[in-house]
Chains A and B, each alone.
Chain A
Amino acid sequence: MDLTVEANLHDLITSTTHKWVFVGGKGGVGKTTSSCSIAIQMALSQPTKQFLLISTDPAHNLSDAFGEKFGKDARKVTGMDNLSCMEIDPSAALKDMNDMAVAQNGSGDGLGDLLQGGALADITGSIPGIDEALSFMEVMKHIKKQEEGEGEKYDTVIFDTAPTGHTLRFLQLPQTLSQLLEKFGEIAGRFGPMLNSFTGGAQNMDIMGKLNELKSNVEKIKQQFTDPDLTTFVCVCISEFLSLYETERLIQELVSYDMDVNSIIVNQLLFADDDPEVQSRRSIARWKMQKKYLDQIDELYEDFHVVKMPLCAGEIRGLKNLKMFSKFLDTGYDPKTDYDVIYELEEQD
């Protein structure tokens, strides 16, 4: 049996089972470029399927990466029929919530007047972790839509996540929510009828019913996120100590959540040995340092797909550049034969 692991993401790109692909890592290591690249390669290799790339990072970059504007609703990438993008906007979602509350309470009374000024959005916007919660709500909404057959049906959703801390909070949400709902369910079971009468016969809110629905949705997500055939996490890092340190922390946390993680993309590598144009003292010294950490990565993550990606001469922006760059995720980058590409990208802009 061959136990060697390929140094590319071909298995993931051609995977027909994965529904959720998370891409995460420390800030500034190329998460957005990597997630766009994965999404593009998946979409190209499986043209009959629909893919959705969601940015859950409050500081969105998808629009910049593709060079076109995306919003809170999924929109197809120009030039690709089966890839859509969306950027979850917490402030817009909070404003929607506020407007709904205003509509329910009406105006004229004290609460309605207060909400008219966006008080709910202001208050909830300052809650720690609200961005992650809203991203999570988006995932739930997406699953519900898929089940009900509403809107566009996506076979795989790729998440361009926020830096590590935010992402871990996001991934912890199903577990936390599940525990919270379990406790709340116990309390509501005892006081359910009383709660229902408090919240109003007028509005006919069935708290228990809503709780059970939310609980079953959360359980479904938890189950899907921990199924390695459905969900995987791709770590992105650069060959530097702090980035590796955070990657290790991320991997250990993900393992503790029972999430599948077996791919690491190492970005911004100089490959100075094989590139005649990178021969400055500084570049050679930096490549030496990168090689030192690459050796450590190979030793530590020998059973992972470790994809080594080059530092390009220019910014990797626009679909054309992304397509050129992303193919190395599928085939792997060979510094001896492929180094021309990193200068070609520069020429195109």
Chain B
Amino acid sequence: MSETIIWVAIVLVVVARALKWVSHYRDTVVDAIWSKPAALKLQDIARRRHSLQQQQRSISAQDEYAKWTKLNRQIAQLDGQLGVAQAELKQTRQAGEKALSRLRLVVLTAPLLLLRFWKGKVSVFSLPQGMFPRAVETIMSQGWAAIAMAPARYVWAPGPMKPLQLETPVCLGILIWALSRVLDTLEFVAASLAV
């Protein structure tokens, strides 16, 4: 059971990070899922406008004034349609983005938060005791909340904390935090190398 939780947590962290990396494709994803008709309509109008403009450029306004003006009227008409289509697309995109961020909240952010709170102290693996200073070992086994709780714990059980066992467990909360830091560092290194 705890193994499943650990794997779920790792997958959630990695997926959340991966989504952040591909965030610049968000518009494409939103267009593909929510606003495909509006995007296609806009694309079609823009294509027709471009084609009319090319036709208009290929003729002389002075020699074929009527044809040139009719094209001009059609372009002006398409400009109006383009404005409406852009506004429509913006609206559907906003709705899509809102839905996408809600989905992300429900599927990734909220479960990860819940895991941190409810299963944060689940032991992932253990290290021999004494490898790190006592305070660090406490954080590793109890999570960051241990620092916040330290004064209260001192009030309830004054005196130095006694070792409870021979090994120091590393809790899930710390694993998630450590994994995030490692991914951050990898991202930074990759970005630095790419520049």
Query: A: which residues have CB within 8 A of B?
Result: 241, 244-245, 248, 252, 293, 295-296, 299-300
Contact = CB atoms under 8 A, between A and B. Distances in A.
B127 interface: no
A252 B66 contact: no
Contacts of A293: 65
B76 A244 contact: no
Contacts of B72: 248
Contacts of B61: 241, 245
B62 A299 contact: no
B91 interface: no
Nearest to B63: A292
Contacts of B62: 241
A269 to B, nearest CB: 16
Nearest to B73: A252
B81 to A, nearest CB: 15
Contacts of A248: 69, 72
Interface size class of B (residues with CB under 8 A): 10 to 19
A63 B73 CA distance: 39
12 contacts: A241-B61, A241-B62, A241-B65, A245-B61, A252-B73, A252-B76, A295-B66, A296-B64, A296-B65, A296-B66, A300-B66, A300-B70
Contact of A244 (B64, B65, B73): B65
Contacts of A252: 73, 76
Interface in B100-154: none
A91 to B, nearest CB: 38
Q: Is the interface of B mostly helix, strand, loop or mixed?
A: helix
A296 B61 CA distance: 11
Nearest to B76: A252
Contacts, number: 20
Given A241-B62, A296-B66, A300-B66, 7 more contacts: A248-B69, A248-B72, A252-B76, A293-B65, A296-B65, A296-B69, A300-B69
B66 A299 contact: yes
A293 B66 CA distance: 9
A295 B69 CA distance: 13
Contacts of B73: 252
Top-4 shortest CB links A-B: A296-B66, A299-B66, A296-B65, A300-B66
Interface string B161-194: 0000000000000000000000000000000000
Nearest to B62: A241
A248 B65 CA distance: 11
Contacts of A295: 66
Contacts of A241: 61-62, 65
A252 B74 CA distance: 12
A62 B73 CA distance: 35
Contacts of A245: 61
Nearest to B80: A256
Interface string B37-80: 00000000000000000000000011011100110110010000
A235 to B, nearest CB: 14
Question: Which of B64, B69, B70, B72 has the most A CB atoms < 10 Å from its CB?
Answer: B69
A300 B66 CA distance: 6
Contacts of B76: 252
A242 B65 CA distance: 11
A72 to B, nearest CB: 39
Contacts of A244: 65
B55 to A, nearest CB: 17
A241 to B, nearest CB: 5
B161 to A, nearest CB: 66
A245 B72 CA distance: 11
A299 B61 CA distance: 15
Nearest to A297: B66
Contacts of B69: 248, 296, 300
A299 B72 CA distance: 15
Interface string B16-52: 0000000000000000000000000000000000000
A252 B72 CA distance: 11
Contacts of B64: 296
A248 B66 CA distance: 10
Interface string B75-98: 010000000000000000000000
A4 to B, nearest CB: 19
A285 to B, nearest CB: 15
A168 to B, nearest CB: 16
A293 B64 CA distance: 9
A89 B179 CA distance: 81
A124 B64 CA distance: 45
A248 B73 CA distance: 10
A80 B62 CA distance: 43
B97 to A, nearest CB: 33
A299 B64 CA distance: 11
A245 B70 CA distance: 12
A249 B37 CA distance: 34
Contacts of A299: 66
Contacts of B66: 295-296, 299-300
